[in-house]
Amino acid sequence: MTSESPAPLIDPFGRAVQYLRVSVTDRCDLRCVYCMAEDMSFLPKADVLTLEEIDRLCSAFVKLGTRKLRLTGGEPLVRRDVMQLIRALGRHIASGDLDELTLTTNGTMLFKHAAGLYEAGVRRINVSMDTLDPHKFQAITRWGKLDKILGGIQAAKDAGLKIKINCVALKGVNDDEIHRMVAWCGEQGFDLTFIEVMPMGDVGEGARLDQYWPLTQLRAELETRWTLDESDHRTGGPARYVRVRETGQRVGFITPLTHNFCESCNRVRLTCTGTLYMCLGQEDAADLRTPLRMSDEDGPLIDAVRDAITRKPKGHDFLIDRQHQGPAVPRHMSVTGG
């Protein structure tokens, strides 16, 4: 950074935007029933930013005060040579300009990349895993193998990475497993976050209303067995945490539907095509690929980022009920970045 750092990004509601989530690919090697259709059509590779362009975009955000950078997908680790990008972004950790470089993964490639992630400066990862039952896991992911994921998680643990498990609450699917998940995460030393189904994209499985399980109900069920102590712990994301007295680990709740978490939102999302979404649940977006490619200087790009932040909305409009059974936004979660 220069000695005179640019002014930070402040949205119209006075929130400092310091957290960038970057989808490095829309592709994934699983097809989770709440996230994707089985016959997904992915972006042509020609439309996707190069790794060098993603690095330049991320670095521009770091100049503008971004302190946390999360790589997502699709599945980020299926992108060819993605470790080159992660190692390059690690320089911002080494310089102190970035507080955290992390990623969300389905775990299928952790057996291969866990040690490299740690060497690049990653210290914490989120692993998406909705069940500990191998048959359910294959049904939810359509073709995933649980033992491969568990092996990858162990590799990440051995490499020194701190792990948080992300579990989407699915009514009639994994609602009988929540106590087991809490107990297992406690045994492993992992934090756990439960997430409500988000109405994004057509998943080809009928109404999401059938999948939706409010976390108010889930938490009430947890409290029949566990002692949940309120916590002020924050990771920069939307989860609200409690500590499970019996295990010592934290459990988080991400509730886009039952409790809108937008009042403290400090996040924006960048897709692998260079589109910036100022809100996960709104369609307004900014094209950053054009200013990125029109000049080797960052001036036009930074101007475009600043203009986009002036349009960041107060919150999203997610709804699931009998009148709102379709997706709130047409794009899939994998396009925007999980």
Task: Centre a 10 Å sphere on the Cβ of residue 305 and count the other Cβ atoms it contains.
Answer: 24
Listed in sequence order, the residues at least 6 apart from 193 whose beta carbon sits closer than 8 Å to its beta carbon are 126, 164, 165, 166, 167, 239, 251, 252, 253, 254
User: Does 167 carry a binding-site annotation?
Assistant: no
User: Does 34 carry a binding-site annotation?
Assistant: yes
Residues 89 and 28: beta-carbon distance below 8 Å: no
Compute the radius of gyration of the chain from its Cα atoms.
19
Helix (H/G/I), strand (E/B), else coil: 241: strand
Residues 170 and 195: beta-carbon distance below 8 Å: no
Q: Name the amino acid, one letter, at 103.
A: L
Residues 161 and 121: beta-carbon distance below 8 Å: no
User: Does 306 carry a binding-site annotation?
Assistant: no
Question: Dihedrals φ, ψ of 151, to 5°?
Answer: -65, -40
Q: How many whole angstroms separate alpha carbon 264 and alpha carbon 270?
A: 19
User: Does 35 carry a binding-site annotation?
Assistant: yes
User: Does 79 carry a binding-site annotation?
Assistant: no
Query: What is the DSSP secondary-structure string of 270-321?
Result: E-TTSEEES-TT---EEE-HHHHHH-SSSHHHHHHHHHHHTT--S------B
User: Does 198 carry a binding-site annotation?
Assistant: yes
User: Does 72 carry a binding-site annotation?
Assistant: no
Residue showing tokens 């409690």: 242
Annotated binding site: 21, 28, 32, 34-35, 70, 74, 104, 128, 164, 198, 262, 265, 267-269, 279
Annotated binding site for S-adenosyl-L-methionine: 34, 74, 128, 198
Annotated binding site for [4Fe-4S] cluster: 28, 32, 35, 262, 265, 279
Annotated binding site for GTP: 21, 70, 104, 164, 267-269
